[in-house]
Amino acid sequence: TEKLNFSASSKKAATKLTPEEKIISHNNFYEFGTGKSDPVENAQQFKVNPWRLSIEGLAEKPFTLDYDDLFKQFPLEERIYRLRCVEAWSMVVPWIGFSLASLIKKAKPLSSAKYVAFETLYDPEQMPGQRSRFAGGGINYPYIEGLRIDEAMHPLTLLSVGLYGKTLPAQNGAPIRLVVPWKYGFKSIKSITRIRLTDKRPPTSWNQLAANEYGFYANVNPNVDHPRWSQASERRISGAGLFSRNRIDTKMFNGYEEVAALYQGMDLRKHF
Amino acid sequence: MAQLHFFKLKPAHLPWLKCIIHLSALVPLLLTFFQAFNDELGGDPVSALLHFTGLGAFKLLLLSLLVTPLARLLKQGLLINVRRLLGLYSFTYALAHIASYVLFDLQLDWPLLLSEIVKRPYITVGFVGWLILLALALTSTKQAQRKLGKRWQSLHNSVYLAAILVSIHFLWSVKSAILEPTIYIVMTALLLAYRRDKFKRWFNKRIKNRQKI
């Protein structure tokens, strides 16, 4: 990882940051193995330069970014976000990146664009998890995710290229990943190569694998349990050791109440 | 049938064998807890601890179920003497597993513990399996064996049920990576298949009893 130039976060973190060591060693990135410590072990040889990220589909001006563009086309800023995993653990991460909205606006989306589809790099040579269904936890690669266009354009929605002042480590989704802080972590797709504007709701990887457990929206919601565990509380990974009382109540939309308007009139039990 | 002509287990070997079992079960357990206390067990020591103790309990349970077939196959009758020790270590790991869950994962949130046991089938199943292992551990002494007489054997036959419950608990607990649980389920199935005559006799007896009524 290399040092990045960015404008520091205007908001002070209300809670303590999760130590960098934890953020870069506890990852769900099945492309590099299904264990939490597999990615940090298997991703170190991952080549991110050269890279191509294309913005395509229902847009007037589709374009592609190469590796250097990722850091130069848009001004970078630090955003300290809570990350809530669907597995009921959470972290506080100082991301560096730019709004997805600024990227989408540059492509001039057509009014028919209702959804945004994302795709992770497909490269079984480099990503051992993609070589077989068994190695990759049953996911049909490449990993795909999607957002409604208004979710994608929300100012909180971030494309991240770094954390803790440096470019992203491979296991955290280098060179560029999505961060949607009010949704469960699996929505924040890593190592993105394609962003496509579309008029249909795109399929998403975890929803394809187990639709009864992982919905399209995946908004953090303490009132809707995962079928196999409660989502009412979470363990904040803090680095304070085994005896730290780090189980805290989970907040609606992970505490980002400003997104509530996006879902007005929707039954969030049905659209979980 | 295979037979080890060059080696015959003698009573004098047993303390050594037991010593090896003590060391290989206790040292990793203590070491893992030590690492967890010092936060040297990856990003989330709690989940690492849960995984290690749960899998350890399952491995030891399967080992204890392997003793009888192995003793017969290799004609080493004395091997039976280590079965109880392996079973007790399986329970020790299972105890560490449930203690880690209550102390470090749920952090003594008792209402949450109760609702999780009731609401989540994989936890219900795991908990019942743990209760069986607890009952077996408590009645593992010679004294209990004498006291319970015939009923002791029927009680301890529930170890097969425990093995099935633990398999289901493991399979249901994973998000999608089912390769590892599948391997364990196959091993469990093989060890149970070895007892098929026992199960047949048991079922026949049940049917007969029912016909009498």
Q: Please state the separation of Cα A230 from the chain's center in Å.
A: 22
Residue B75 has pLDDT above 70, yes or no: yes
pLDDT value for B202: 86
Round the CA-based radius of gyration of chain A to a whole number and report it: 18
Bigger pLDDT: B207 vs B147: B147
Indicate the pLDDT class of residue A160, thresholds 50, 70 and 90: very high
pLDDT value for B84: 97
* Mean pLDDT, rounded, of chain A: 95
Q: Centre a 10 Å sphere on the Cβ of residue B21 and count the other Cβ atoms it contains.
A: 17
| Residue among A118, A98, A138, A200 nearest B182 (CA) | A138
Indicate the pLDDT class of residue A38, thresholds 50, 70 and 90: very high
Instruction: Say if the ipTM goes beyond 0.95.
Output: no
Residue B89 has pLDDT above 70, yes or no: yes
Calculate how close chain B gets to A46, using CA atoms only, in Å: 21
Q: What is the share, in percent, of chain A residues with pLDDT greater than 90?
A: 88
Question: Which residues in B lie closer than 8 A to residue A230 (C-beta atoms)?
Answer: 112, 115-116, 119
Is residue A158 classed as helix, strand or coil in its secondary structure?
strand
* Mean pLDDT, rounded, of chain B: 93
Interface contact flag, B39 A239, Cβ < 8 Å: yes
Q: Is A208 an 8 Å CB contact of chain B?
A: no
State the Cα–Cα distance between residues B28 and A229, nearest whole angstrom: 29
Residue B1 has pLDDT above 60, yes or no: no
In degrees and rounded to multiples of 5, residue A5 shows phi and psi of -95, 125
pLDDT value for A193: 98
Indicate the pLDDT class of residue B41, thresholds 50, 70 and 90: confident
The pTM of the full predicted model, rounded to 2 decimals, is 0.89
The H-or-E segment that residue B144 falls in is helix B142-148
